[in-house]
Amino acid sequence: MIDLLLKNYIIVNPTTEKTFTGDIAVDNGIITDIGENLGYSAREILQGQGRLAVFPGLVDMHVHFRDPGLTYKEDIETGSEAAKAGGFTAVLCMPNTKPPVDSPETVSYIINKGKKTGIKVLTSACITKGMSGEELCDYDALKQAGACALTDDGRPVKNAELMRQALELSNKNGMTVISHCEDLDIINGGIINKGEVSEKLGVKGMDRASEDYVTAREIALAMSCGAHIHIAHVSTKGSIDIIRAAKRDGVKVTCETAPHYFIYTDDKLLSRDADYRMNPPLRTEEDRKAVEQAVIDGTIDCIITDHAPHSADEKSDFLKAPNGVVGLETSLAATLTKLYHTGKVSLQKIAELMSVNPRKILGLPVVNIEKGDIADLTVADLDREWTVVPSKLHSKSKNTVFKGETFIGKPVATISNGKIVYNILNEEN
């Protein structure tokens, strides 16, 4: 008798470019067989009814779990529950905690706490000590403790020479360098995209030149030392054009975006609701279209959430609220609704964007749906219609940009290392 049998599923396997209907047998955390009408006896059976899809386990390489130090917003346990509900079997935490993740002790704290969640909680570490932009961290010590990427996310590294040195060192230590592309002098206190909406609201705007300029700088620095640079949360047409040209020229650059950037525009801010404020901000329709096209044509390598929880009190004041929105529980649903059901991308493309590419970028083993592979699997009901109700989210914080949005497609089961860690297959919503 095996541990688990998935019967009659649409199996999405992007590495072999095959999508077919069949069964998956799992035992001792490993996929032991794949085929039609497998006759195994199993301790647990999940029925796919020929209409549910199973993807390689999703990976979100950009989340903020606020642990340590800011756990009133989120912690590793609650963040992981949100991740499971979103179909994620692995996440990468950003280091802007209190204290920042700039020591082996803090790296170990996050990884050890993450081991109890049932999914893989990975962490990045700071590029500079205290995220101060003044002195590089001890990357060898951070890597030995378990960190797999370097970033001062939440703040840019202002000193270009320090950033160049970090990139140069990444060639030796193999850690992915992730850049938060923003020039704080250009931003100068802006809180939403600079343009017609900011003018209508009479609030200070964030000029797109901030993102475009630092994106170009990071690519130039990466070129200078032959290093790989990963650009976080791309939101502007300008940045996309710069990245596309750099890729064409052979620069080792990858990038990511979040669903809200290819779905919404800054018109949402006319409501003066801080739940639509994040950094980078929602941009114009021209930017939204450019981001969507870049996802479709492969310029953008992966879809992330930038899951950034804040308390209701913090988000209550439009002008003073911190930037950020939660997104783990809506990411796959939003992508299925806006890109798959509209015929713009395939299921295989979604698996590439949300499972395969994040693993490749971080230097992690790629998870396939093949015999002998680890059973990290995400099950989705492609046609389930549901409405986002913030109070039903698993995150401590409810600051979702998608509140009240109706999606078609929903994660209904998450399997990590062969164990079912989330399952609502038999629930209506």
> Would you call 158 helix, strand, or coil by DSSP?
coil
CATH architecture of 2-54+372-423: Roll (2.30)
pLDDT of 154 higher than 90: no
Point out which residues pair with 408 in neighbouring strands.
385
Active site residue 306: yes
| Percent residues over pLDDT 70 in the chain | 100
Which residue is catalytic, options 212, 306, 373, 376?
A: 306
Could you give the CA distance from residue 38 to residue 45 in angstroms, rounded to a whole number? 12
Could you give the CA distance from residue 229 to residue 240 in angstroms, rounded to a whole number? 14
Q: Where are the beta strands (DSSP E) in 99-234?
A: 120-125, 149-150, 176-179, 192-193, 205-206, 229-231
pLDDT of 407 higher than 80: yes
Cα–Cα distances in angstroms (integers) from residue 5 to residues 24, 50, 89, 185, 423, in the given order: 6, 14, 18, 56, 14
**Residue 38, H or E segment:** none
Question: Are 289 and 361 in contact, with CB atoms under 8 Å apart?
Answer: no
pLDDT of 428 higher than 80: no
Q: Where are the beta strands (DSSP E) in 272-405?
A: 302-303, 377-387
pLDDT in tens, 325-350: 999 999 999 999 999 999 999 999 99
Whose tokens are 């999940």? That residue is 46
Q: What is the mean pLDDT of the chain?
A: 97
- Select the CATH number that applies to the domain covering 58-362 from these four: 3.40.50.1470, 3.30.930.10, 3.20.20.140, 2.30.30.760: 3.20.20.140
pLDDT of 387 higher than 80: yes
Question: Are 179 and 218 in contact, with CB atoms under 8 Å apart?
Answer: yes
pLDDT in tens, 80-114: 999 999 999 999 999 999 999 999 999 999 999 99
Could you give the CA distance from residue 108 to residue 94 in angstroms, rounded to a whole number? 14
Question: Are 81 and 276 in contact, with CB atoms under 8 Å apart?
Answer: no
Query: Which is nearest to 371 in space by CA: 1, 119, 22?
Result: 22
Q: Domain extents for the chain?
A: 2-54+372-423, 58-362
Question: Are 392 and 398 in contact, with CB atoms under 8 Å apart?
Answer: no
| Band (427; pLDDT cuts 50, 70, 90) | confident
- What mean pLDDT do residues 162-191 have? 96
Per the omega criterion (within 30 degrees of 0), is the bond before 358 cis?
no
Question: b vs e for 70-100, b when ≥16 Cβ sit within 10 Å of the residue's Cβ?
Answer: bbebbbbbbbbbbbbbbbbbbbbbbbbbeeb
Check residue 18 and give its pLDDT.
80
| Band (160; pLDDT cuts 50, 70, 90) | very high
